[in-house]
Amino acid sequence: MAEEPNRTNDAESAEQAEQPGKVADQSLTGALRASFRLLTLILIIIVLAYLWTGITTVQPHEKGVVRIFGRIQRIAPHGLDINLPFPLGKVDRVHVSPQTVEVGDFWMYESPEDKTKPLHQRVAGGGALRPAWDGALMTGDRNLLHVRLACRYEVRDPAAGLFVSGDLNSLLRDLICRAAVQAAAIRTADGIARIEGNAFLDEIKTRVQEQFNSLAGGHDKVRIIEITMPQFSWPLAALPTFSDVTLAASNVVTMREDARGFANKQLGQMAGSNYAVLVGLPYGSSDRKRTALPGEDGIADDDLIGQYERAVENKDADLAAKLQIRIDEFLLGDQVSGEVSRIINSAGADLSRVFQSVKGRYSAYEKLLAVYRIAPDFLIQRLWADVYEDILNSPGIEKYFLLFNDGKTVLRINRDPAIARQRLRDIIREETAKPK
Contact 300, 272 (CB under 8 A): no
Q: Which amino acid is at 72?
A: I
Position 91 scores a pLDDT of 78
Strand, coil or helix: 71: strand
Decide: residue 228, CB within 10 A, 0-12 exposed, 13-18 middle, 19+ buried: middle
Indicate whether 9 pLDDT > 60: no
Segment among 54-58, 188-192, 365-369 with least mean pLDDT:
54-58
Q: Dump pLDDT digits (tens) for 347-391.
A: 888 888 899 999 998 998 888 888 888 888 888 888 888 888 877
Q: Dump pLDDT digits (tens) for 39-55.
A: 888 888 887 887 777 77
Indicate whether 3 pLDDT > 60: no
Domains of the chain: 55-93 (no CATH), 98-234 (3.30.479.30), 250-336 (no CATH), 341-433 (no CATH)
Indicate whether 326 pLDDT > 50: yes
Beta-bridge mates of residue 137: 145
Rg of the chain on CA atoms, in Å: 54
Task: Please compute the mean of the pLDDT values over residues 11-18 and round it to a whole number.
Answer: 55
